[in-house]
Amino acid sequence: MRGVGAALAFAPLAFAALAFVTLAFAGCGGGNGGVGVGPSLPRLAVSGTKIVNAATGAPVTLRGFVFSAGVWYDVPAGSPNGDLANLQFMQSEADVQQIAGWGANLAILYLNYRWFDDPGGYAFIDQVAGWCRAHGVYLLPSLVIYPGGGQRGGQAFFDSPTLEAEAQQFWVDFVTRYKGHPEFAGYDLLNEPQGVSVDEIAAFQTALIDAVRGVDPNAVVFVEPQWGDPTVLTRIDRPGLVYDPHVYLPLYFTSQLFPWMYGGAVPGDLHYPATDGSMVTNIVIPSEAWQVYDPSVPAGTYDWQTLTTSYTIPAGSDLAFVKLFSSGDVDATIYFDDIEASVDGGAFTLIPNGSFETVNEVSSDANYWSSYVADAGTVTRTNEAAADGQWSAKISGSNAWSDYTTHYGLDADNNSIFYLGTAAGVPVAGGTTLALRWRVKAENATAATDGLEVMFGEIQKESYTAADLDADLDRVLASNMAAFGAPILIGEFTPSLAGTRPDILDWASALMSYANAHAISWAYYLYRDDWTATRYLGLYNGPYGAPTDYGTADTDILARVQAGLRQ
């Protein structure tokens, strides 16, 4: 779910500390890549809607945790977080032993394709597999960083036959090495694939499945939907599959304050159950008439000016959002700052983060703001210039359309884009007037090409009770399990740990209770993470690069997950 990344190329010395692992396993038998096969775990298979012991047919429900392995820190070699030897601490044998003691039998391990450019990548997997085998925990590898460096692929991956072929060859090599090793629950071939249509993703997944089955006809393959979204789970016409959605329903509640969701603009004071009609399901922009294009930046080169613009608020509108843009003004550099709003003649006040002083915790963007460049250009939060404070927004070199926005607005077909970031909007009332006062500085601006759009949104809300959660889970889990005739693993679930308590804890307990009652496997996301400020994820928290005796536990969520394992 979470991810930040850049390029990575591991130096050979980065894996030296792991090289002994393959050698140590070489004398254990098994033959495949030198990894010994232990007797403690039966091989898994799929029978109808159950994961089963391949030898006896007895049902096996997998329950456990996701280990990120530091995969998000996909950074250049030589960086403190840039090599596998420094990332492996994210999980130790003590952690595998601990979750086994809690009653877990599954560890999902996130993978970076680049780790396997060097034999040390396989040495790392050998090591983790050995821990899992020793403690009776199944290991499920899941590819997060695809060939080409993209997290979950993206359009560039799926548009490249070369990169797709590299992914296919990776899994052929991986399965060749580990086939016959029962500690592997199977293979999760593509984690949260995205960038192209559901059908295109399913077609490539089918090709990957066929390639894997060419090596190991009995391999259990785990299949994730586009973005992991359970509402678009798609049946693939192959046997022996486990469907692997990630469940964050309702998304407004589970995303509280997540900085990577809607620019960090989902509030942190939400409730479950919500019996008062307060659960937001979307912020809709019904038509082009609700999205006002205003190219009002003056032409020329000049220092900071103050502009005031006014707009009639459509009836039914609840929130107003601001988008800054440059449209084909390739020689211009525009700075925006101190955006203030006045509703129906009231006092002017800054719109949410309208000064750009607060940065998003997982990106370089201003909190609540998201950048977009259609072709070429720069859109960024900058300290090059500021009308007040230290920061402003900058758009430069835009040869087509570039923007900085607090709501994504309408798509190419003029349909409202799904959006939940209520904290980024200015509360308004239909039939009144919105005035914006804002500062602008320009170099080589062309008339009628740069400015702002005001987008008016209607908040859609509903009540959301425990019964509603059960109904959603019936729709996306139990119903699909029956329709596909295949088992389901909830491959990720968590509420934002920055959200309201005990509500987030009650939601997690309700989801685990549902899964356990329906014999649906699950993995809690995340065992360990690294946050230096607000803590959003992770049973444990500690800085990357620290020893395995790290950080502190969130004892509230830990107690709930342990209770789920005991059910």
Distance CA 403, CA 397 (A): 12
Tell me: cis bond preceding 273? Omega within 30 of 0 counts. yes
Q: Which of 1-15, 102-116, 139-153 has the lowest mean pLDDT?
A: 1-15
Q: Which two tokens stand for residue 325?
A: 């843009």
Q: What share of the chain is helix, strand, coil (3-state, %, to 5)?
A: 30, 30, 45
Q: What is the pLDDT of residues 314-349, one digit of tens each?
A: 999 999 999 999 999 999 999 999 999 999 999 999
Higher confidence at residue 114 or residue 10? Answer: 114
Lowest mean pLDDT among 92-96, 171-175, 264-268: 92-96
- Segment 22-58, tens digit of pLDDT: 333 333 333 333 334 444 799 999 999 999 999 999 9
Contact 64, 137 (CB under 8 A): yes
Q: Going by C-beta distance under 8 Å and a sequence separation of 6 or more, which residues neighbour residue 415?
A: none
Tell me the pLDDT of the chain averaged across its residues: 90
Instruction: Note whether 441 and 302 are within 8 A (CB).
Output: yes
* Length of the chain (residues): 567
Mean pLDDT across the stretch 245-250?
Answer: 98
Neighbours of 523 (CB within 10 A): 25
Instruction: Please tell me what DSSP assigns to residue 266.
Output: S
- Residue 84: its pLDDT value, please? 64
Q: Is the pLDDT of residue 542 over 90?
A: no
pLDDT(13) > 60: no
- Alpha carbons 95 and 476: distance in angstroms, whole number: 32
Rounded CA-CA distance 90/315 in Å is 52
Cα maximum dimension of the chain? 80
The tens digit of pLDDT for each residue in 295-309 reads: 999 999 999 999 999
Q: What's the DSSP call for residue 74?
A: B
Going by their DSSP bridges, the two strands 44-47 and 521-524 should be labelled as unpaired
CA dist 164 and 158 (Å) reads: 7
Q: What angle do CA 196, 72, 380 make, to 5 degrees?
A: 75
In angstroms, the CA 491 to CA 19 distance is 30
pLDDT higher than threshold 70 for residue 136? yes
Q: Is 283 helix (H, G, I), strand (E, B) or coil?
A: strand
The pLDDT tens digits of the residues spanning 213-241 come to: 999 999 999 999 999 999 999 999 999 99
For the domain made up of 12-267+466-500+518-550, give the CATH fold.
Answer: TIM Barrel (3.20.20)
pLDDT confidence band for 546 (50 / 70 / 90): low
User: Where do we find the tokens 């509603």?
Assistant: 468
pLDDT tens by residue, 61-91:
999 999 987 776 654 444 444 456 556 657 8
Q: State pLDDT tens for residues 473-514.
A: 999 999 999 999 999 999 999 999 999 999 999 999 999 999
pLDDT at 37: 42
Q: How many CB atoms lie within 10 A of CB 59?
A: 14
State how far the Cα of 215 lies from the Cα of 286, in Å rounded to an integer.
Answer: 51
pLDDT digits (tens, 9 = 90+) for 186-218: 999 999 999 999 999 999 999 999 999 999 999
CATH 3.20.20.80 residue spans of the chain:
12-267+466-500+518-550
